Amino acid sequence: MTKVTSLADLKKMKEVLDAERAKYTKHLHVCGGTGCHAAQSIGLDANLKEILADKGLNQEVQVTMTGCFGFCEKGPIVKVVHDNTFYTEVTPKDARDIVDEHIVKGSKINRLLYTDPVTNEQVSDSQQMGFYKKQHRIALRNCGAINPENIEDSIINDGYLALGKVLTQLDAQQTIDIIKKSGLRGRGGGGFPTGLKWDITSKVTADQKYVVCNADEGDPGAFMDRAILEGDPHSVIEAMAICGYSIGASIGLVYIRAEYPLAITRLKMAINQARELGLLGKNILGKGFDFDIELRYGAGAFVCGEETALIHSMEGLRGEPTFKPPFPSVSGYLGKPTNVNNVETFANIPVIINNGAEWFASIGTEKSKGTKVFALAGKINNVGLIEVPMGITLREIIFEIGGGIKDGKKFKAVQTGGPSGGCLTEKHLDTPIDYDNLVEVGSMMGSGGMIVLDEDDCMVSVAKFYLDFIVEESCGKCTPCRIGNKRLYEILEKITQGKGTMEDMERLKNLSSVIKDTSLCGLGQTSPNPVLSTIQNFKEEYLEHIIDKKCRSGQCKALLHYDIEAELCVGCTACKRCCPVNAITGDKKQPHVINQDICIKCGACEEKCAFDAISIKLEKKIHTEHGND
């Protein structure tokens, strides 16, 4: 590849590539995200290419393996670009029909079209699908539209033009002012104004500064950073270079999870291609600006999403946070000024530079501008990655984009903000989502995980699940987080065992407020949120566990028991034979009985019973004279 040495060169290259692209009359996009990879999209891509080559159509039809389309529930996805047809759950075997029927004959394949779960109608145009209708894709603009492994595809889609504009037309302060004016706030969770962060770092004088991209996505259930790095790595590289130019840094570092092999491969590939073209390295676009990017690997520590912890981890130390100030902007990696931004934040930068601050600021709410990517998961019909304008309501997200609750069940709660967020309920469904509103109702934006829960989920167990995560991930440096969260977990465990008392409710609240007030870093300061928000919104469930010893959703095993209906039992002994602990007694052809003291509630007998005589009862069986424990 010849180097691109000026902005004119880059534009020329784009023109040539555009002309080459125009030779193809038809384009097929195949999703190559992690979810679809797992569902054999590689074989599908290969089959399509092979069949097209066989038919001599490979000069007319281009097959591109793209990043994530976001609609992971129905993957693998194939998009026929010229007529915007969206095929779902496509298998490698379907490749032949797509070529023979659609490409050659021009007729759509009905069985691969998406059926709207509400109207039951088939929809072929992705723009008309509920899942995409209300989305506004800025950070994800190229995910599902370009081949992330080829820099040329990125350049065709305006890649590196923003960097060119910044280097040729703007000085550092002007660039920072655009970002400030756009109102962009950190997408990693904190929501700190990005322009202001850049401004602070740019004003510190030092012989070396660093740009760090936080790609240590640790929230269980959030995968937007991975999708961006896998689907559009060049926009992150370009944005880091723009940031480097603005704050005066020549080195960029991406701190990425080692658990994301595909994202690492594609990012490395993208960095090498950018270097080959001269878009990274010395004297970029002939403007005397030097910038290069290195990777640093995370090793599975949630706390490393906190910027001071992340920096220590990059230095080869335990990823423990330190007190701020000094902020990383002043003293960060190796003691030098360091600007840390999240992947999604960076992905917004090139578009803001190209389209202007006013354009970006026109989207969203007064204090939260632009869009936010959410990972929609849990008990919802359309699991996937969505990008919506700030200010959209939860109702729109869950019932229009998400297609409602799975299996026609009833919506119960939505957990936003990851382990440190909160559970929101029915009454919050119409709250416009932005940074400040979410905090007001006791949750937070976090990195954008959104887990939908239905009537079968026990809220006390959900709180316990998150606390379990926090206990495991607490770095142990400060006492409130290390010991306090462990105690919170134990109290919740006690309640789910049916051993809770009313004093435990007070204890949970007091302990939570102490942990919030006295923890060192953001992890500890937000860790009691799941407990507090579930107590606030689902107090009656806690009380049921404590007073009635009952778990309405049947999730807390200690609070239910299996019972044999004497009238239905024919005494076939099937249950007795399969019980692993010999808790069932009874003679042949006589009704059997479960000894509740021995039963471990494995459910094996219920499965074995052919007469539906065994069922779960939703309360703790009081079976001894000593009361109910």
For position 384 contacting other proteins by CB under 8 A, the verdict is: yes
- Give residue for tokens 């660093």: 210
φ, ψ for residue 500, nearest 5 deg = -75, 155
Name the segment binding other proteins (CB under 8 A); options: 48-56, 265-273, 291-299, 353-361: 291-299
Can you spell out the DSSP letters for 366-381? SSSBSEEEEEEEESBS
CA gyration radius, the chain: 28
For position 383 contacting other proteins by CB under 8 A, the verdict is: yes
Using CB under 8 A, pick the residue from 453, 515, 532, 605 that binds other proteins.
453
493-512 binders of other proteins (CB under 8 A):
none
- Give residue for tokens 């756009």: 182
433-452 binders of other proteins (CB under 8 A):
449, 451
Cα 276 from Cα 176, distance rounded (Å): 28
Name the segment binding other proteins (CB under 8 A); options: 204-212, 317-325, 541-549, 558-566: 317-325
- Give residue for tokens 């007529």: 83
Name the segment binding other proteins (CB under 8 A); options: 138-146, 253-261, 427-435, 608-616: 253-261
Helix (H) or strand (E) holding 355: helix 343-355
Please say which residue, 187 or 226, places its beta carbon nearer to other proteins.
226
CB of 530: closest distance to other proteins in angstroms? 10
For position 415 contacting other proteins by CB under 8 A, the verdict is: yes
For position 183 contacting other proteins by CB under 8 A, the verdict is: no
Which among 473, 219, 436, 254 is positioned nearest to 342, based on CA atoms? 254
CB of 297: closest distance to other proteins in angstroms? 6
Non-local (6+) Cβ contacts of 418 within 8 A are 189, 219, 220, 221, 222, 446, 447, 449
Q: Spell out, one character per residue from 334 to 353, where the chain touches other proteins: x when CB under 8 A holds, - when not.
A: x-------------------
For position 222 contacting other proteins by CB under 8 A, the verdict is: yes
CA distances from 374 to 66, 405, 472 (A): 20, 17, 25
Cα 266 from Cα 412, distance rounded (Å): 39
For position 88 contacting other proteins by CB under 8 A, the verdict is: no
Using CB under 8 A, pick the residue from 375, 401, 583, 605 that binds other proteins.
375
Please say which residue, 198 or 465, places its beta carbon nearer to other proteins.
465
Using CB under 8 A, pick the residue from 328, 378, 389, 528 that binds other proteins.
378
CB of 294: closest distance to other proteins in angstroms? 10
CB of 444: closest distance to other proteins in angstroms? 15
Can you spell out the DSSP letters for 280-299? SEEEETTTTEEEEEEEEEE-
State which amino acid sits at residue 618: L
For position 75 contacting other proteins by CB under 8 A, the verdict is: yes
Which among 373, 408, 414 is positioned nearest to 390, based on CA atoms? 373
Q: Spell out, one character per residue from 54 to 73, where the chain touches other proteins: x when CB under 8 A holds, - when not.
A: -----------------xxx
β-strands 251-257, 289-298: how paired?
A: parallel
457-486 binders of other proteins (CB under 8 A):
457, 462, 465-466, 469, 475
Residue 341: strand pairing partners = 213
Name the segment binding other proteins (CB under 8 A); options: 231-239, 256-264, 394-402, 561-569: 256-264
Please say which residue, 7 or 556, places its beta carbon nearer to other proteins.
556
Which among 167, 138, 68 is positioned nearest to 349, based on CA atoms? 138
Residues 292-321: b if buried by 16+ CB within 10 A, e if exposed: bbeebebeebbbbbbbbbbbbbbeeeebbb
For position 260 contacting other proteins by CB under 8 A, the verdict is: yes
For position 317 contacting other proteins by CB under 8 A, the verdict is: yes
Interhelix angle 194-203/233-247, nearest 10 degrees: 40
The binding site for other proteins (CB under 8 A) comprises 34-35, 37-39, 71-75, 218-223, 226-227, 258-261, 296-302, 313-319, 334, 375, 377-379, 383-384, 415, 418, 449, 451, 453, 457, 462, 465-466, 469, 475
